[in-house]
Structure 1
Amino acid sequence: MDHTFGAELARALGVKVIIPACGDITLMEKGIEVLPHYRNSGSDTESETEDLYLPGANPFVGMVYRPLKAEEFRLLVLNPGFSDEPIECFLEHYPVNGSKPFKALSYVWGTAMHNEPIRVDGFEFSVTENLYAFLKEFRKEYDAEILWIDAICIDQQNIPERNAQIRQMKRVYEGADSVVIWLGNEVSTTKEAFEHLSHIYDSFWLQTVVKHNRPGAQLSAITSEQVSLLFAGPSGSARAWDGIEDIFKRPWWSRIWVYQEATAPAKNGSVVICGRHTIEFTKILTVNKIVRNMISRFEGLDRLEQCNSLNAVYMHIYSELRRAYHETGTTLYLRLEDLISVLRGFDATNPRDKLYALIPTSVDGDELIDVNYELPVDEVYTNAALSIIQKHHSLDILGHCTMSETGSLENLPSWVPNWTSKSGPIPFFKRSLVSQKTSEEAASGRDVIGKLFNASGDTRAQTSIDRYSNILSVEGFIFDKVELVSPSTGNSHDSSAIAVDWIEWLDTLSCTPDAHQALRKALPRVLVADTYRFSVDVGMRGCIQPSLAGKVGNESLLKINAIEPDDIHESVTGPHPASFRRKLIVTEQGYLGLTAEQVEKNDVVAICCGGQLPLVLRATSNHYTLIGEAYIHGIMDGEAMTRYKMNGNASFQIIKIR
C-alpha cells in the first residue's frame, strides 16, 4: 500500500506518525512521527459518533482512510501475531464484485465506554472491547486473515460514505467466503454447550431425519422416552444447558443488523464462535427447530422450555428465511413493510437503523428510503411511512401505530409508527414471513401474499399530505361510534383470564337478550381477532383450558380461524397477541370489536380506502388523531364498504389525520 501521500502531508504539517503495521514504505525512514490517534468506534446503532481526542492527539482523523470510489469497499488485513503482541492490520480497497476471498464479521459492537487500541495502517485506532476480543481470538499466529468489519472498514465519521456503504452491505455479506458470527468471550459452560448442541444435531437430525429421509414421519414417531434420552445424552448435564441458555441470551440474536448478516447466503455458510469454540450456524438453527417441535408435543421438558423461550423468535425467523432460500435457490423478495412488521422487536440504539438496516434486504427499500443519518428520527419515520403508503396504495402500515407510543418523538404524527417502541400491540394482520414472489411482483407493489382482512373492499389508498402540518388526508367514511369500552387488561398475556374477564364484563351490559347473545357469540372470534382456524378433528379439544372452554364453549372456540397446526395449542391455552394491550368495544350500532387500550367512548370507527382493518379515530379541532386499528366483527370482509356504496354514496369523505 502507498503511504507516501499521508507521510508527505504529515511532514508538511509537522506532526508525528507511528511505524506502519505493514506496507511498502516505512514512514520512519522519512523522519516522520505522529502522536497516538484515538478514534471512537462508537456503536453500530449510534447516529453520530465523535472522535475522542486525548491531550496532544492527532486531529487529522482522515489519515486512516482514503476516499472510496463508487462500487468500492475496504477489506481489513489482520496481521498474524502471538497473543501477547499488539494487534496490527491495514486496509485495502477493492471493487465490491471483485475482491479477494474474505470473511465478513457479524457481531455486536458493544458499548464505547471502554475501548482498546489497535493499529490500522500505522495509526492507533480505538475499537470496542467486544471487537478487540474477537481480533485477539481470531488472529492466527503465522497467517494473515482478510476480513470485512464494519466498524473499521467504513469511516463511521464520514456520514456520506456511511450512507452509501450501508446500501451495499448485503452484497458484501453475500460475496463473502463465509460469515463469522462472534457471540463474545466464552464462559465456563461454553464448551459443554457447544458439545451438547452438536450431540443433539448429530444424534437426532443426521441419524434420524437425514438418514431415513423422512423428516415428517420421524419427528412424529419419536417417543417421549427417546426425547428425554436424546436431550439428556452424555453431555446433557445441567452445565451444558446452563451454557446453552447463556448462548441464547447473548444480545447478538436480537440485533437489527444481524438480520441481513445471518440470512445472507455466503459461499461457505456461517460459523458461530464463542471464545475458542465454534459450531456451524445451521446446526444451531436445526437444533432450535427440533426443540420447537418437541416442546409442542411433550410435557416436562423443562430445560427445553427454558431454552426455547430465549430469543426463539429470532432464530425461527433466521431459520425460515434461510430454509426458503435453499429451497428456491434464489434470493428472497420481501417488501420493506413486511420486514419492518416481522422484525420490529429487534434492537437498535440508533432509531434510524430500525429502518436503514433493512433496506439492503428488501426489494423496495432503495426506492422508499434515502439513507441519511443527519435527518431527525421523526422525519426519517414520517418519510418512510408516507413512502410505503403511497408506493403500495395501502394503509396497512398504520397497524403499527398506537396513540401512546410517541415517547420522546414528540413531533411524530399519530399515523406514523414509532418503530423505537417494542412494547405496543402486535398488528392484527400477520403477513407471510416468506413471500413467494418474483422480483417483478415484489417490486410492483402488488400484494401476492393475500389479505387476511378486507374491510375496505377492493379500494386503494389515495392520500395526500400537508408537509407543514404533517396532516395526512385519506379517503373513506365514518362508519360508527364507540359506545362502550371494557376495562383494561393491563399487561396480561393470559388469553384465558382475559376472555373470562371480558365475558363477565359483557354480562354486566344493559342490552336485550338477543343483543347479548349476539355479543357472546362473537366473542370467541373477537378474542383472537379471527386469526386462527382449525377443525374439531385435529385432536386439540382437550388442550382448551376448562376456564375458557366452560364459558365460551368448545364448539365455538374450535371454529376460530386456521394457521399452522403447531401453533394451535399456544393459540388457545397460551398468550394470544390479539388481546395484548387492547380493549373490547361495543359500537352504537351494536358491533363488538377489539382495539387499542387508549380507546374512549365517542371515538369514531372509520373505514379508509386501502385499509385491511377499520381505524379508531379521535376528533380534534381540525383533524383526527389515530388511536389504533380495530377488529370489528361483521365488517372485516368489506360488508360496511359494500353498504356504503349501495346507499348511493358516489364519493368518499376526506378524513384528515395528524
Structure 2
Amino acid sequence: MAFHYDMLPSDHSFRILELNPGHDHNSPLRGSLKLHSIKSPPRYEALSYVWGLAGHNESLECDGQDFKITASLDTALKRVCSAHSSILIWVDQICINQSDNSECSQQVSIMKDIYSGAEIVSAWLGPGDPEKVNSVAETMKILANAVSSLFTERINLISINDDTPMERPPTFPQDEFLRQMSLPIRSSPIWNDFNSMLTLPYFSLIWIIQEIAVSRAFRMLWGNVEIPGHVLRNALTCAKLHSMDEQDIVTHSPVLSLGNVPRTLYSKEYHSQDLLDLVLQTGKQQATDGRDKIFALIGLSHNDNLMPDYSQTEASLFKEFVLQEITRSNLKILSYTNVIDPFITMKPLWVPQWSPPNNKINGALINLGFNASNRHDINRDTTFNSQFLVLKGLQIDEVKAVSDLVPYDNGIAFAISSFFKLVTQNEDLFQKKYGLEFIRPFLLTMLVNRKNNPLFCLGAIPIQDDIYLDTFIREAFSSLFRRIYHSASEIDLTRDEYVSVLSLLRAAVNATPTTTTTGMLWFKEDETFQFLRTTLEKLFPDDDELVLSFYDVFKRMRTSSRGRNEAERWQFNEIFFRYTIHRRFFITESGYIGLGPPCMKDGDSVCILFGGTTPYIVRPTPTTDEYFFLGESYVHGIMEGEVMAMYEAQEISVEQQLIERWFRLI
C-alpha cells in the first residue's frame, strides 16, 4: 500500500523527515514527516545523493507506515543518522510526494530555498574501500593545503608577446614536483583511486549543481570518511591549476577527470546566471527525467519566465525554452541543435535536445565571436503555427557538392586532403571567389579562421599570421612520413591519396617565406632524405616529373627559418578536432567553401538569418518558403558580416543574387 501524504497547506510549506537514531547499519530506519514553512523552518540538514536503480525495495517506517525507498537512499540514511539522537533532514525521495505532479512542480520551484536553508548539505558518494578512501582523502587534504605560489614553478606562464609563446600545454606534474608537495608519485595507485572517485555517478547528476551551489556549507561523505566542502573545493582547484587533468601521453602519466566535476563545486559563492548559459555549462550532466535538464537549473538563474511544470512534456518544454531565448536575446540557442537526419530527428529541428547530454556544446561556432548578420536585429513572424520558427534572412547560395565524413586514422593531413578533392573538382568556381592561391582560404576554413587567445579566458581570436601554414607543414609531413615509414614494404594508400597530401604540402611550402639554412632542421640524417626520395620513386614509378616536384618540396623543407612550436601544433589539432571533425566540407554554386552539419547534402541552401552570428544550412521542402533547419555553418568570407554589409550598401553583384525572404523553419 502506498504511503499516504497529507496535503501541503501552502506554496511555502515543505516536509522535513525526523530520522530516529540508529545504533548500527543493521538497525531499521524509523522516522516521521513534519510540516514546516520555508519562511521559518527549524534547523535541519539536507541530503544530496544518487537515487540509484528504480526499484524501491528497502523500508523506512515513517509515521507508522511502511515507506519504500531505494537501496541507495537506505545506505545514505544509515550513514547520516545519529546513534544518539534524532536528526531533521530533508530528502526529496521522502519529503515530496513523487506521484503528484502538481506537488513535484511546486516543491521544485522552492528547491533553491530548501537547500540554501539547510544548516549543511551532505553529499553522499556511496560506499568505498576504507583503505583507498582514506588515501584519497589524505591526498585531497595535501592538495587543499598546497601553497598556491608553487603553481608558478609548475607551468610556463602564457605571454602576450608573440616572441615568447608558451612552449607546450601543461601536463600532469613530474615526480620531483609531486615530492616537493608531499604528494604520491605518478606511479602510485592513489591517483587511479582519486580518479575513480571523480568518475562516480554522483558527480554526473544535474541536480547536484543546485544542491551544492546554494548550500551554506556542505560535506562529502564517501564510505566512512567525511571530507569538508572547502577541502574538496580547494583540492580540485589546486589539481586544476597544476594540470592534473592533462595527461602526459608521452610518459603515460596519471590523469584526473576534473571535467566530470561541475564547476559549481569549485566556487565558494554562487551568483545567478543566464539559464541558457547554465544549460550549456551542465551539458554533460545526467538526468533521469529529461525535463530536469532545465527544471534543475531554474532556481539558479535570473530567468523568471519558466516555472517547473511536470505536466508538461519534454518536447513542449524544450520548444518553449527555445522560443523564450529567441524572444529574450538572439539566435544563439540555434547553434546547439544536433540534427542527425531531418526525417528521423524529433521535430521541430530547431529545438536542441538536451537529453541525452548534448555533445554539440563544445564545438558550437557561436562561441567564436563571428558576426555573419552584421549585428542585424532578429525579424521574427509569430503569427504562424508554433511548430514553425519563422525568421527573415538572406538566401546566400545553394550547396553544389559535399564531402564524405572521413575517418581520421591516418592523421589530419590525410583527412583534410579528402576535403581538398572538392576544391580541385571545382577549381574555376573556387578561384573566381577566392583567387589563384587556394591554400590559405582552404586551411583557414579547416581551422574556422580561429586560434586560441594567448589569454585563454578571452576565448578565440581570428588568425592574423602565417604560423598556421608552418604548423600544417609540420603536421602534414609528420602524417606523411609516419604513414610511409610504417608501410615501407607495401604502399597501403592509393596513389591519389598521397598526391593529395603532397600537393597540399607543396602549396603550403610555396606560400611561406623562402626558407634559409639558419633555422631548425626538419630531418638531419641523409638516410632519411634518401628514404623519402626512394619512397617517391616507388609511389610514382612512371612519373619522374612528379617525383622531382615533390622531392624539391622536401629539399626546401630540409631547413626552416622558423622554429617548431609544440604549442601551435597542439592548438592546430585542438581547433581542428573541436570544430571540424564532425562537420562536412562543402562548396556552393558560386564557389564559397565551408563546413556544415553532418546531415547536409547537395542542394541544401546557405542562408543568413537576421540576428544570427553564423550562416545556417537549411533544406528546401516542396512547400514554398518552408525549410528543414539543419544547423549552423562556417562559410569562408562571410563570417564577419562582409555579405550583409555589401547587401545593406546595395553593392551586391548581379551574379550573387541574394534573396531576402522569410524562412519557415521546420
Q: Normalising TM by the smaller chain, what interval?
A: 0.7 to 0.9
Which residue is equivalent to 1:313? 259
CA distance in 2: counterparts of 1:493 and 1:353, whole angstroms = 41
* Cα distance change of structure 1 residues 406 and 129 upon mapping to structure 2, 3 Å threshold: farther
Q: Matches of residues 268-287 of structure 1 in structure 2 within 5 Å?
A: 268=217, 270-287=218-235
Which residue is equivalent to 1:190? 132
Q: Matches of residues 574-653 of structure 1 in structure 2 within 5 Å?
A: 574=574, 576-622=577-623, 623-647=626-650, 652-653=660-661
CA contact (8 A) 2:283 2:361 kept: no
CA distance in 1: counterparts of 2:408 and 2:211, whole angstroms = 33
Which residue is equivalent to 1:481? 398
Q: Matches of residues 112-127 of structure 1 in structure 2 within 5 Å?
A: 112-113=54-55, 115-127=57-69
CA contact (8 A) 2:179 2:185 kept: no
Which residue is equivalent to 2:387? 470
Which residue is equivalent to 2:352? 417
Pair 1:395 & 2:325 matched: no
CA distance in 2: counterparts of 1:262 and 1:139, whole angstroms = 20
Which residue is equivalent to 1:654? 662
Pair 1:162 & 2:104 matched: yes
Deviation at 1:577, TM superposition (A): 1.8
- Kindly indicate whether structure 1 or structure 2 has the higher relative contact order, using CA contacts under 8 Å at least 6 residues apart: 2
Encode CA deviations 1:505-540: one digit per residue, 9 max, x unaligned: 645554478458554212333334334235799x99
Deviation at 1:601, TM superposition (A): 0.9
CA distance in 2: counterparts of 1:493 and 1:373, whole angstroms = 49
Encode CA deviations 1:392-413: one digit per residue, 9 max, x unaligned: 2x11111111322789874x21
CA distance in 2: counterparts of 1:343 and 1:569, whole angstroms = 29
CA distance in 1: counterparts of 2:473 and 2:208, whole angstroms = 39
Deviation at 1:460, TM superposition (A): 2.2
Give the letter aligned to residue 654 of structure 1: W
Give the letter aligned to residue 642 of structure 2: E
Pair 1:249 & 2:188 matched: no
* Cα distance change of structure 1 residues 358 and 518 upon mapping to structure 2, 3 Å threshold: farther
CA distance in 1: counterparts of 2:272 and 2:313, whole angstroms = 29
Structure 2 counterpart SS, 1:404? coil
Encode CA deviations 1:132-186: one digit per residue, 9 max, x unaligned: 1101111111022221211111111121111111112122222222221111111
- The answer to which of 463-472 and 149-158 deviates more is 463-472
Q: Matches of residues 61-72 of structure 1 in structure 2 within 5 Å?
A: 61=3, 63-72=4-13
CA contact (8 A) 1:455 1:635 kept: yes
Matching residue within 436, 446, 459 for 1:527: 446
Which residue is equivalent to 1:151? 93
CA-atom RMSD in angstroms: 3.8
Which residue is equivalent to 1:341? 280
* Cα distance change of structure 1 residues 505 and 391 upon mapping to structure 2, 3 Å threshold: same
CA contact (8 A) 1:194 1:278 kept: no
* Cα distance change of structure 1 residues 423 and 637 upon mapping to structure 2, 3 Å threshold: same
Q: Matches of residues 30-41 of structure 1 in structure 2 within 5 Å?
A: 37-38=1-2
Deviation at 1:117, TM superposition (A): 0.6
Give the letter aligned to residue 580 of structure 1: I
Which residue is equivalent to 1:546? 474
Encode CA deviations 1:292-323: one digit per residue, 9 max, x unaligned: 43355966564532x33xxx324262356x26
Q: Matches of residues 189-588 of structure 1 in structure 2 within 5 Å?
A: 190-202=132-144, 206-209=145-148, 216=152, 224-229=174-179, 233=183, 238-264=188-214, 266-268=215-217, 270-292=218-240, 293-295=242-244, 296=246, 302-305=252-255, 307-308=256-257, 312-315=258-261, 317-319=263-265, 322=267, 325=269, 331-364=270-303, 366-367=304-305, 369-392=306-329, 394-404=330-340, 410=346, 412-422=347-357, 424-426=359-361, 429=364, 452-465=369-382, 468=385, 470-489=387-406, 498-503=415-420, 506-507=423-424, 509-511=426-428, 514=431, 515=434, 518-534=437-453, 546-548=474-476, 551=505, 571-574=571-574, 576-588=577-589
Deviation at 1:566, TM superposition (A): 13
* Cα distance change of structure 1 residues 68 and 500 upon mapping to structure 2, 3 Å threshold: farther
Structure 1 counterpart SS, 2:298? coil
Structure 2 counterpart SS, 1:606? strand
CA contact (8 A) 2:335 2:631 kept: yes
Q: Matches of residues 74-113 of structure 1 in structure 2 within 5 Å?
A: 74-83=15-24, 84-113=26-55
- Identity over the aligned pairs, expressed in percent? 22
* Cα distance change of structure 1 residues 585 and 120 upon mapping to structure 2, 3 Å threshold: same
Any unmatched runs of 5+ in structure 2? 158-171, 455-463, 479-504, 513-564, 653-657
CA contact (8 A) 1:399 1:427 kept: no
CA distance in 1: counterparts of 2:181 and 2:361, whole angstroms = 34
Encode CA deviations 1:75-114: one digit per residue, 9 max, x unaligned: 2221111122210112222222322222221111111225
CA distance in 1: counterparts of 2:437 and 2:42, whole angstroms = 69
CA distance in 1: counterparts of 2:511 and 2:57, whole angstroms = 60
TM-score, normalised relative to structure 1: 0.74
Deviation at 1:345, TM superposition (A): 2.1
TM-score, normalised relative to structure 2: 0.73
Deviation at 1:473, TM superposition (A): 0.9
Structure 2 counterpart SS, 1:304? coil
CA distance in 1: counterparts of 2:413 and 2:659, whole angstroms = 43
CA distance in 2: counterparts of 1:253 and 1:541, whole angstroms = 41
CA contact (8 A) 2:604 2:618 kept: yes
Give the letter aligned to residue 176 of structure 2: Q
CA contact (8 A) 1:155 1:162 kept: yes
Deviation at 1:74, TM superposition (A): 1.8
Give the letter aligned to residue 5 of structure 2: V
CA contact (8 A) 2:401 2:586 kept: yes
CA contact (8 A) 2:130 2:223 kept: no
Deviation at 1:208, TM superposition (A): 2.4
CA contact (8 A) 1:174 1:267 kept: yes
CA distance in 2: counterparts of 1:358 and 1:250, whole angstroms = 21
Give the letter aligned to residue 229 of structure 1: R
* Cα distance change of structure 1 residues 361 and 530 upon mapping to structure 2, 3 Å threshold: farther
Structure 2 counterpart SS, 1:137? helix
Give the letter aligned to residue 256 of structure 1: I
CA contact (8 A) 2:585 2:594 kept: yes
CA distance in 2: counterparts of 1:491 and 1:485, whole angstroms = 18
CA contact (8 A) 2:606 2:616 kept: yes
Which protein shows a greater Rg? 2
